[in-house]
């Protein structure tokens, strides 16, 4: 184990992001006595994060390709404002190896993993190969596929249904399910085309499609001294079209023995990859036997849902990121990690759940956020704020912590009930309905539950209400 590393004096951090994660990083910097400089687009010049930063720099026009995705502009802005390091947040350039190299070549510390680690784990085929070498179980699958004939042979061996996945994919893009040989070629072409358009890489591979799956992830931290630890798991199965909606920690389906095994697997993978920084190892868990888990992918950045891990461990993950980037060892060991209570996070988006979750930008005319014991709201919003159409629709994350899961669910339902937003629709009412469902209370949600059970039930109930109203109106008229 290497016991020497160069210390980097980080006194001023450039934040290459926006919204709630930008504000979260600013707050962490200030708690550490570090100045925060924020890069902003034209649409974000007068936001809450811009007001909280010690200095702002205009990166360019509102569209992300002209501002937040301009690596050269960000590096130049960081240098001009005499910053020592760059924090990428999540999304945008956070998992782009070329951005890491640009920062390092300019003498800026990148608050995240190395470019090599990002490339290694960002390519899903490469990541699966590393997982296998680390002894981490994987879903039966293939390497990169070159033609349909090869895919047909592999699918027959794996067994249908199969999941076609883009090697460079993310967020559900470049993923298709083929349930029989006749459907395979069509779905392969569709997945490769979407992958090429979204990531510039059409490479695809196959995995066995798990019909009843849970999505469970392990948070890891690793420093330059070879210390690697995990901070327990997060349950992320409440999702729609591969987009997470509600997360909780710990998982209601994982026992202590399985948690230890998953944590060990995640640590072994991070160590095998030579990983340094905060990262998340994601697993598919069999909903019918939660002791069976398989590697899914690794995210080489801070996650949207990191607050629930902070709530049950008391560890400031962003502060640890900055410590690691400074060349310091982790402030905690594996023996220091204890999971206390239960935490739930609801992602509040500016979307209309009654209209296929269509994004609805606009101006917030009223914003009354809940607060109190065990309640945390990570948000960049306030009354009068304009939600622009150029970016992700996330308004914030409502997080609760309680002694146990039933109490946490009750606390979240109560907090959502006190949350008032006017001017734009949000997903808050949707979350309230999900939390009231018996399946959620029983911890029986799978990754397909929202689409296959909850939304169809809501649609049927809405249809029944409409028919009852029509019948009542007809009776009155008669």
Task: Note the pTM of the prediction, 2 decimals.
Answer: 0.93
- Average pLDDT score over the chain: 95
Q: Which of 80, 79, 24, 74 lies closest to 53 in space, CA to CA?
A: 24
pLDDT at residue 6 tops 90 = no
Q: Mean pLDDT, to the nearest integer, of 84-88?
A: 98
DSSP state of 294: E
Categorize the per-residue pLDDT at 2 as very low, low, confident or very high, splitting at 50, 70 and 90: very low
DSSP state of 451: I
Rounded CA separation 41/109 (Å)? 23
DSSP state of 335: G
Query: Please, what are the domains in the chain?
Result: 12-111 (3.40.50.20), 140-208 (3.30.1490.20), 213-458 (3.30.470.20)
Phi (first) and psi of residue 353, to 5 degrees: -60, -25
Rounded CA separation 166/187 (Å)? 12
pLDDT at residue 4 tops 60 = no
Geometric angle at alpha carbon 230, from 229 and 232, rounded to 5°: 155
The whole-number pLDDT of residue 170 equals 72
Digit-coded pLDDT (tens) for 143-189? 888 888 999 999 999 999 999 999 887 767 888 999 999 999 999 99
Alpha helices, H only, 374-454: 405-417, 428-435, 438-441, 449
Residues labelled as active-site residues: 301
3-state DSSP percent of the chain in helix, strand and coil, to 5: 40, 25, 35
Q: Mean pLDDT, to the nearest integer, of 350-356?
A: 95
**Segments of 70-196 assigned E as strands:** 85-87, 109-110, 162-170, 173-178
Digit-coded pLDDT (tens) for 414-455? 999 999 999 999 999 999 999 999 999 999 999 999 999 999
Q: Mean pLDDT, to the nearest integer, of 184-213?
A: 90
Can you spell out the DSSP letters for 50-77? HHHSSEEEEEESSSGGGTTT-HHHHHHH
Rounded CA separation 139/125 (Å)? 12
Rounded CA separation 272/135 (Å)? 10
pLDDT at residue 463 tops 70 = yes
Digit-coded pLDDT (tens) for 111-154? 999 999 999 999 988 999 999 999 999 999 998 888 889 999 99
Q: How far apart are the first and last CA of the chain?
A: 85
The whole-number pLDDT of residue 13 equals 98
The whole-number pLDDT of residue 5 equals 64
Digit-coded pLDDT (tens) for 253-309? 999 999 999 999 999 999 999 999 999 999 999 999 989 999 999 999 999 999 999
- Residue 333, classified by CB atoms within 10 Å of its CB into exposed (0-12), middle (13-18) or buried (19+), is exposed
């Amino acid at each position: 184990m290497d016991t020497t590393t160069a210390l980097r004096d980080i006194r001023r951090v450039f934040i290459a992001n926006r919204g709630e994660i930008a504000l979260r990083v600013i707050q962490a910097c200030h708690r550490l006595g570090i100045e925060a400089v924020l890069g902003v687009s034209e649409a974000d010049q007068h936001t809450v994060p811009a007001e909280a930063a010690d200095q702002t720099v205009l990166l360019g026009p509102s569209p992300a390709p002209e501002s937040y995705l301009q690596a050269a502009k960000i590096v130049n802005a960081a240098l001009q404002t005499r910053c020592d390091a760059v924090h990428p947040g999540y999304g945008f350039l956070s998992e782009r190896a070329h951005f890491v190299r640009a920062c390092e070549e300019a003498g800026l510390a990148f608050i995240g993993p190395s470019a090599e680690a990002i490339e290694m784990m960002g390519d899903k085929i490469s990541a699966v190969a590393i997982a296998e070498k680390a002894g981490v179980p994987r879903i039966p699958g293939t390497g990169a596929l070159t033609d349909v004939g090869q895919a047909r042979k592999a699918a027959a061996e794996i067994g249908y249904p199969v999941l076609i996945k883009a090697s460079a994919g993310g967020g559900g893009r470049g993923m298709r399910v083929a349930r029989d040989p006749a459907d395979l070629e069509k779905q392969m072409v569709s997945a490769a085309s979407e992958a090429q358009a979204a990531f510039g890489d059409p490479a695809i591979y196959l995995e066995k499609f798990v019909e009843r799956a849970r999505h469970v992830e392990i948070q890891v931290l690793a420093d330059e001294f070879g210390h690697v630890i995990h901070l327990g798991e997060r349950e992320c199965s409440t999702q729609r079209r591969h987009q997470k909606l509600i997360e909780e920690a710990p998982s209601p389906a994982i026992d202590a023995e399985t948690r230890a095994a998953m944590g060990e697997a995640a640590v072994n993978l991070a160590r095998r990859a030579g990983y340094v920084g905060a990262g998340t190892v994601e697993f598919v868990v069999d909903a019918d036997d939660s002791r069976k888990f398989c590697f899914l992918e690794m995210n080489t950045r801070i996650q949207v849902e990191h607050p629930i891990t902070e709530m049950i461990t008391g560890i400031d993950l962003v502060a640890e990121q900055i410590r690691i980037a400074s060349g310091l060892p982790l402030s905690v060991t594996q023996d220091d990690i204890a999971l206390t209570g239960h935490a739930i996070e609801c992602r509040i988006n500016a979307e209309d759940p009654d209209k296929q979750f269509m994004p609805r930008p606009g101006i917030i005319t009223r914003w009354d956020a809940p607060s109190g014991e065990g309640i945390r709201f990570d948000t960049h919003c306030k009354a009068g704020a304009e939600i622009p159409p150029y970016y992700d629709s996330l308004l914030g994350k409502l997080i609760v912590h309680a002694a146990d899961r039933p109490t946490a669910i009750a606390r979240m339902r109560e907090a959502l009930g006190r949350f008032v937003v006017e001017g734009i629709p949000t997903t808050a009412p949707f979350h309230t309905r999900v939390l009231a469902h018996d399946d959620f209370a029983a911890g029986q949600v799978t990754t397909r539950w929202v689409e296959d059970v909850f939304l169809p039930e809501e649609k049927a109930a809405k249809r029944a209400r409409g028919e009852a109203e029509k019948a009542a109106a007809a009776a009155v008229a008669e």
